[in-house]
Amino acid sequence: MRKAFLEPTADQTFEVVGDGPYNFVQVLERSRRMQESGDVEGACNERFQAFQRLAALIPEDEEVNLEWSHRNSRAALELIRASAIDHFLINDFEMSAALLELLLELDPEDHLEGSELLAFDYLAMDEQELFDEVINDVSDKAASREVLLLWSAYRRDGSLPEGELKRFRTRFAPYFAEFTADSHPADAAYLQDIESEHPSLAAQARELWLQTENLWVLWPGFIEALKARRVEA
């Protein structure tokens, strides 16, 4: 009996069926417990190995869309995204992008909004053409899109486009304030706010900063350019 296989559905999608290491619901939960207990490296390894097992199940010459409503298939997709985040945070942008590209192949509807992180990966790799292809899949209601557009322009020609800058400063004021602040503490007040049922925009802005802080350590010039414009009305 096979330990794992892809079960076709009537909707022309596939469900990942399997036990043990292919029970991705259990693997995902185990990785979360490991991370919460402080075993971050172990959790990262758990997620990446789960991705490797899943990837081995996917035929190279066939389009496979996983069924989002199926628990094990959804957990498999969540593990791919989580591993992409793991690699992003250690500045392995190429592997992070590869994981996200697979995620979008398996889930073209992008339920987990992998396009956003993929756009950051592409800019970090200075893949502007690939960035141009994916940025349209990032919601124009998301502050992250404005950060991406501003950073893309800055990476291209070293300047901030006035229209995007004005939009960022006015429509996403708490995010502009956060990205031009001198400190970004993940203190008790922030944690209480972001973990609440309705986190404030200020807390959400700090969350985006903290999620992308590794980029600004590598490319501080972009943040300095933003800060230079914070005194304007």
Task: State the CATH number of the domain containing residue 104.
Answer: 1.25.40
Report the predicted TM-score, pTM, of the whole model to 2 decimal places.
Answer: 0.95
Looking at residue 61, its pLDDT comes to 86
d(CA 147, CA 155): 12
Q: Is residue 81 part of a domain?
A: yes
Q: Which domain holds residue 69?
A: 1-118
Domain shared by 108 and 156, yes or no: no
Q: Above 50 in pLDDT, residue 233?
A: no
Domain shared by 15 and 112, yes or no: yes
DSSP 6: E
Looking at residue 3, its pLDDT comes to 80
Looking at residue 226, its pLDDT comes to 97
The identity of residue 68, as a single letter, is: W
Domain shared by 15 and 110, yes or no: yes
The identity of residue 230, as a single letter, is: R
Residue 15: strand pairing partners: 7
d(CA 34, CA 30): 6
Domain shared by 105 and 148, yes or no: no
Domain shared by 105 and 196, yes or no: no
Domain shared by 113 and 157, yes or no: no
Q: Is residue 133 part of a domain?
A: no
Mean pLDDT of the chain: 96
Nearest-10 crossing angle of helices 93-106, 114-124:
150
Span 56-110, pLDDT tens digits: 999 988 999 999 999 999 999 999 999 999 999 999 999 999 999 999 999 999 9
Domain shared by 91 and 148, yes or no: no
pLDDT band, very low/low/confident/very high, at 157 (cuts 50, 70, 90): very high
Q: Is residue 40 part of a domain?
A: yes
Secondary structure class of 60 (helix, strand, coil) = coil
Q: Is residue 195 part of a domain?
A: yes
Domain shared by 91 and 143, yes or no: no
> Distances in Å between the alpha carbon of 160 and those of 43, 193, 231?
38, 31, 15
Domain shared by 91 and 180, yes or no: no
d(CA 48, CA 140): 31
Which helix (DSSP H) or strand (DSSP E) does residue 19 occupy?
A: none
Domain count of the fold of the chain: 2
Task: Give me 164's structure tokens.
Answer: 């995007």
Other Cβ atoms less than 10 A from the Cβ of 225: the count is 17
CB 145 within 8 A of CB 174: no
d(CA 176, CA 165): 9
DSSP 95: H
Task: Give me 36's structure tokens.
Answer: 């919460």
Looking at residue 1, its pLDDT comes to 43
Domain shared by 54 and 166, yes or no: no
